[in-house]
Structure 1
Amino acid sequence: MKAIVLEQFGNIDNLQFKEVPIPQPGMGEILVKVIFAAVNPYDQKVIEVYGREVGVQLPVIPGSELSGIVEATGEGVTRFAPGDAVCGNPGNFGGCYAQYTVVKAGDMAKKPGPVSFEVAAAIPIAALTASKAIFDEGGLKPGEKILIHGASGAVGSMAVQLANAAGAFVIATGSGKNEQRIKELGAAVFIDYSVQDFTTMAKDIDLVLDTIGGKTQEDSFGVLKPGGRLISLVQPPSEEIAAQHQVAAKMIFSGPNAERLEQIMQQVADGILKTTVEKVYVLSDAKEALRAMKGGHRTGKLLLNP
């Protein structure tokens, strides 16, 4: 099969497009024919910055999010059969930038028929991260006010939709060019960070979702009501500042959750949740896709089509 292989950390240019053997599923695993693999910031960071630090072993096929079709099942797998359409984010980094990959069956969800393979590949990480942040860790309840920073990004835009669907009052920050789209997704108030100061427009907030860090995170403590919560995806919040404002604050990491993902995919099928795919690259153009993603200012997910 064709795959993108990394044999040395440090640079996107180290990626190689080459022929490798098709992997075989073991106990509790499934072999998936990859239809689309998503290109994520985490992929680039592992390749260029901290792959060795997080224990990624070389050589590795990058990629941590996909949609595809089950080709074969390993021993002990009962949830899936060959021909099933699936999607998800494998718990261990790697494998998706290829024509076939082996993943743990427990990490995958079935793709509902109405949902395209493109959308199914673009949903899992952003939706699961947003859901864990605002519900599991943030404890968002109907009627509460949530401030979502970076609402035009993949996680932010998913958080807007999930919070709105849960009955929360959504205030979102982002670039002015994205205002209409973010309001259509469910934001009641949009704050253009380039010309407006959110600290004067957002008050008595129950929950802040921080996807920015730095000064944005620090200033967010001042808009929370006593007893409020701040959840960051990018930077550990200051315990001292949190205590001064009488709020709770933490940084969280996401991971696979097949049961939750199947619920999310049904919301996608029902039209409650939406995502945007900006561009699809052929697998051999993975370097170009990663550079485009690294450049920022994306309007949607970037995908690879093996």
Structure 2
Amino acid sequence: MQAVRIHRFGGPEVMAIEEIDRPTPSANEVLIKVFAASVNPVDAKMREGKYPVVTEKDLPYVLGRDVSGQIAAAGDDVSSFLIGDEVFAFLSPEHGGYEEFVLARADEVAAKPKSLDQVGAAAVPLAGITAWQGLFDHGGLRQGQHVLIHGGAGGVGHFAIQFAKAKGAWVATTVSASEKEFVSDLGADQVIDYKSEKFEDVIEPVDLVFDLIAGETQERGFNVVKPGGALISTLQEPDKARAAELSIRVGRYTAQPNGAQLREIAELIDQGKVKVVIASTFELNEAAEAQAALNERHIRGKVVLKVVN
């Protein structure tokens, strides 16, 4: 089978399409025939050697963390899927999605949303679970609460807006002026142009700041969290001493594969409460171009590789 692998860390030039052996699932694994694979910022970090889970001892390494496709084989202990089932999955780091067949633990996998094609389904798992776990598992967001999402137009952000609204929260988000209509259409209640407005001057205190930007934006986020609220980041550990002074919770997290949460997300998608936005698609042999597309300013939604046409 074909796979996009790296043999050393570096720039896009280290990625190469190679022929490798098709793997065989162990007792608790399934083999997925990959139709599409999502492209995420973490893929570039892995390629550059800046993601500590992947080290030189793991090379050569197949990139990619989430896929959609069909079950091609299943281990002896797997009873939840049949050959041919359409599925999507957020993969553990030991397996990469930029390939024609990939192994996944059965508990990482869920039935693909019926309302999405394979490209749309591939766009969901990593970004969707990152948004879900940040808002609900770490942020504790509940119905009726207020949340500020920094970077609401991106892959994680556009899901976060919709998940929060689906759970009955009030949502504010910071974006550029060109993205205001986009996030309003996703359901954002207050849209703040971060270039022309300081969010702390125009927003009432919130129960949760969901930080997808880090840096100075995160620091200013402390100014708008209610006592007892939370500031949660995917990128940078917030200042715990300052949090203690303000009586708020803070944390940085790394999303973990979770098939049960994927099933909940799929249900919201099939109910029409969440839509998936694809910014662009590429072929498997264009993986370098796909990663470069993530660096374009103000990308809306997700970038996806089409593995099977």
TM-score above 0.5, yes or no: yes
Does the CA-based 8 Å contact 1:232-1:251 persist in structure 2? yes
Partner of 1:54: 53
The whole-number CA distance in structure 2 between the counterparts of 1:36 and 1:173 is 30
TM-score, structure 2 as length reference:
0.95
The whole-number CA distance in structure 2 between the counterparts of 1:63 and 1:251 is 22
Name which of structure 1's ranges 288-297 and 183-192 shifts more when overlaid on structure 2. Answer: 288-297
Deviation per residue, 1:247-278 (Å, 9 max, x gap): 11111111111011111111111111111112
Over the matched positions of the two proteins, sequence identity in percent amounts to: 36
Partner of 1:297: 298
Does the CA-based 8 Å contact 2:36-2:304 persist in structure 1? yes
The whole-number CA distance in structure 2 between the counterparts of 1:112 and 1:251 is 29
The whole-number CA distance in structure 2 between the counterparts of 1:94 and 1:40 is 15
Partner of 2:214: 213
The whole-number CA distance in structure 2 between the counterparts of 1:5 and 1:36 is 16
1:75 match: secondary structure: coil
2:239 counterpart of 1:261? no
Does the CA-based 8 Å contact 1:63-1:93 persist in structure 2? no
Does the CA-based 8 Å contact 1:23-1:101 persist in structure 2? yes
Name which of structure 1's ranges 58-67 and 129-138 shifts more when overlaid on structure 2. Answer: 129-138
Does the CA-based 8 Å contact 2:139-2:232 persist in structure 1? yes
1:294 is displaced (CA, Å) by 3.2
The whole-number CA distance in structure 1 between the counterparts of 2:118 and 2:242 is 44
Does the CA-based 8 Å contact 1:203-1:225 persist in structure 2? no
2:37 counterpart of 1:37? yes
Does the CA-based 8 Å contact 2:27-2:77 persist in structure 1? yes
Change (3 A) 1:47 1:24: same
Deviation per residue, 1:84-119 (Å, 9 max, x gap): 001011122442111111111111001132221111
The whole-number CA distance in structure 2 between the counterparts of 1:252 and 1:29 is 26
TM-score, structure 1 as length reference:
0.96
1:132 is displaced (CA, Å) by 1.0
Partner of 1:27: 27
Partner of 2:271: 270
1:50 match: secondary structure: coil
The whole-number CA distance in structure 2 between the counterparts of 1:148 and 1:172 is 5
The whole-number CA distance in structure 1 between the counterparts of 2:79 and 2:95 is 24
The whole-number CA distance in structure 2 between the counterparts of 1:293 and 1:37 is 14
1:21 is displaced (CA, Å) by 1.4
2:294 match: secondary structure: helix
Name which of structure 1's ranges 22-31 and 286-295 shifts more when overlaid on structure 2. Answer: 286-295
The whole-number CA distance in structure 2 between the counterparts of 1:295 and 1:173 is 18
* Structure 2 residue runs without a partner (length 5+): none
1:15 is displaced (CA, Å) by 1.0
RMSD: 1.3
Partner of 2:284: 283
Letter in 2 for 1:69: Q
The whole-number CA distance in structure 1 between the counterparts of 2:267 and 2:287 is 30
1:290 is displaced (CA, Å) by 1.2
Letter in 2 for 1:25: P
Does the CA-based 8 Å contact 1:37-1:121 persist in structure 2? yes
Alignment of 1:50-129 (within 5 A): 50-51=50-51, 53-56=52-55, 57-129=58-130
Deviation per residue, 1:198-255 (Å, 9 max, x gap): 0101122111101111111111111112112111111000011112222111111111
2:96 match: secondary structure: coil
1:296 is displaced (CA, Å) by 4.3
